[in-house]
Structure 1
């Protein structure tokens, strides 16, 4: 019997599996996909996420895989420059973009050096095993049954483990979807990687150079009432019409490199309970985050540290089921305040952007009064970013 089964080999599952096997706890990590190259994976590591990786001894991995730092954040409204903030905004390290597939491959390769680790890839979890009203393992899509002292669901916002355990996800109202584009990079971004947020008329998008060499990423906000036929739209012209002249020229001259967009359906919410007897949810399985300011991977890595702090001593002591299950509530209690606050900050930032998008008068006043209010707006934005970047609670690896 495995001591712990982890379902989902994203950053949460891979990092937790590695932490546990390095401490002598037997883990089976199960990943439904045959490889890690999904159509979309978040890349943004904030200082809090970078700190979590450092505490786990994984900082050197970043040096070996494609990554790129952000240099600044800049806001342009109605064609007028609003404000700019330089990285690292008072932190000891800047926001860093990292390619997830090589990050996950590197973490799993490290875990495979330990005898207590098994990785099952390309097979989905179909159901949970129950014994006396307690989860006792998983059933795989190929019919295999795997027993475990604890099942940890890190299988994302559409978590099968969450559904099979009967744990409820309370969703926030859905306001937007995102169209995610990639296109050829401009030398201007390569030299100075600025995260631009552009709002013009009632349209908004963000653009920056991702971790992948030579690729810009562009996120186009689609509101609930958007009726755009996005598959037929001439996007190069749309982007150019909303952008500063130098950026417009790049869109037009590289129109042929704009890849077919991915439509990301934004699911945001939080489980009232992250656990049931014998099962724990972490990361997006427990609290799917908004894409605003790239919180998902960062809070998930901090979930991993807190979970390890509580679980490692219990498994070393060969604790019984009651002690293990009692620890699951303590993990949620420790992590939940940060998740609640981070999601609230995301809501505030998204609401501010949506208000600007919908209200032409506010946009006009902001443009006209920009020289007078620029500093105040910048300070308000910075204050909100500090908590989302640095983390809201103290998280320290103690095992």
Structure 2
């Protein structure tokens, strides 16, 4: 076993374990002994399992001990066109013209893909069903906060330097004047800046890692149209793909897909909607030559907000935050009129860039912003996580990071239950309480800025002027950094314990 130290001085060890498959080949699983990022002191930890997450409990496993993988077939069965059978992969069994899987995850976004890796790498046979055939076809958040970076490190997912673009320069503008200009390098020490990442590449990395375990199968371009629930907790998924209609029998079902998908409709008894007064128009354009690499700029004023952030692919990702319901007027305008309206709300430097490079603007699209949370993530034989369990506002760039942390907490509970023959439903029921506090705090914080930035009454304009002056002072910036740290680092510590 090889040991090293993190930047904070903690010892970190890694081991790898092998398991012999039924075909005589070896599948390798590597687990990370601890995060390569420093832990933060003085903040509460994620609530643990009763008798299973404790390092000293009877079922505890030292972090450096390899996870014993379960034996399972790695035999691939050819597609049976006559029986309309599902194309079988690792961890799935043919049964009556369909497929049966031990764990079926619907949705290969950050939560679903990371949880699939955490389960399959510990020998739990997992089928991941994704409606898109190409991860590039759907808009996906591209900002990893330190909380998300730490979650990936906990899971043993190491991204290459050329896959990440650290955001090091932050600027805030209000009513035409800069009130915040910060350089992350000046923070020194162990400060870990947010980073832009290509989420499609991240998802492909997670899929490739899962496939290497020998206990994982991915079905792309497969849309779940209907779910039948049985009294014993199992589910039958009616799936449509280019190959036709088929069925998947899921002994345990995890919904990790989008908010309007069938899994939430089938499994969510109640949803708490926090409301959202904003929508966001997203587009990309050429990156300003005069800007430092890794710049993020936020421009507010006149009841609008512009977000301009460097991306990992060398472009400028822009979000035009507008009042909900006003996109129809923008959409009806010509391209030149639309750009002129955007130009009116930018600071002088950004407006000049928009005017000179308007032809590089990609086709804008509207993100209908919703903020909600399902009440009751777990039900017999099923669980919701990620976007299926909660919809996050884009304020603060939290969606990807919250989803990754969901997957870590879910793995902490589910892996011991599946591996040791425990009560999976009882384990799943502990996930929502472990995540509820963070979600509640973050969603309440996300609702605050739009009320001030987008308000059209005189009191809102006054509040914006006061806020810009307050935030230009060292005291105001210190106060704002308290809330900012929650967006950066999360509300509670989330650590992988399996």
TM-score under structure 2 length normalisation? 0.74
Structure 1: distance between partners of 2:232 and 2:268:
12
Q: How does 1:318-329 map to 2 (within 5 A)?
A: 318-319=421-422, 323-329=423-429
Q: Find the partner of 1:248 among 341, 351, 366.
A: 351
Superposition deviation, residue 249 in structure 1: 2.0
Q: Find the partner of 1:104 among 187, 194, 203.
A: 203
Structure 2: distance between partners of 1:372 and 1:211:
29
Q: Paired residue for 1:299?
A: 402
Kept after mapping to 1: 8 A contact 2:233/2:251: no
Distance 1:158 1:87, change over 3 A: farther
Q: Paired residue for 1:348?
A: 448
Q: Paired residue for 1:339?
A: 439
Kept after mapping to 2: 8 A contact 1:236/1:258: no
SS at 2:275 equivalent: coil
Q: Paired residue for 1:57?
A: 156
Superposition deviation, residue 196 in structure 1: 1.1
2:315 paired with 1:199: no
Distance 1:148 1:229, change over 3 A: closer
Any unmatched runs of 5+ in structure 2?
A: 1-99
Superposition deviation, residue 208 in structure 1: 1.7
Superposition deviation, residue 240 in structure 1: 3.3
Q: Residue deviations 1:121-177, cap 9 Å, x none?
A: 111112223222623342222432222331000012223111122433222223111
Distance 1:228 1:380, change over 3 A: farther
Structure 1: distance between partners of 2:123 and 2:471:
59
Q: Paired residue for 1:151?
A: 253
Q: Residue deviations 1:225-254, cap 9 Å, x none?
A: 636333425244333333333322211111
Q: Find the partner of 1:44 among 137, 143, 154.
A: 143
Q: Paired residue for 2:213?
A: 114
Superposition deviation, residue 281 in structure 1: 0.4
Kept after mapping to 2: 8 A contact 1:31/1:121: yes
Q: Residue deviations 1:336-376, cap 9 Å, x none?
A: 11111111111123333334886333345556xx3896333
Q: Paired residue for 2:271?
A: 169
2:177 paired with 1:77: no
Runs of 4+ that moved beyond 4 A: 88-91, 355-358, 364-367
Please identify, of 173-182 and 222-231, the stretch whose mean Cα deviation from structure 2 is larger: 222-231
Q: Paired residue for 1:212?
A: 313
Distance 1:374 1:107, change over 3 A: same
Q: Residue deviations 1:178-232, cap 9 Å, x none?
A: 111211111223x24321111232332111211212x111111110363633342
Q: How does 1:234-383 map to 2 (within 5 A)?
A: 234-319=337-422, 323-355=423-455, 359-364=460-465, 370=469, 374-383=473-482
Greater Rg over alpha carbons, structure: 2
Any unmatched runs of 5+ in structure 1?
A: none
Kept after mapping to 2: 8 A contact 1:184/1:258: yes
Kept after mapping to 1: 8 A contact 2:106/2:130: yes
Distance 1:326 1:93, change over 3 A: same
More helix by share: 1
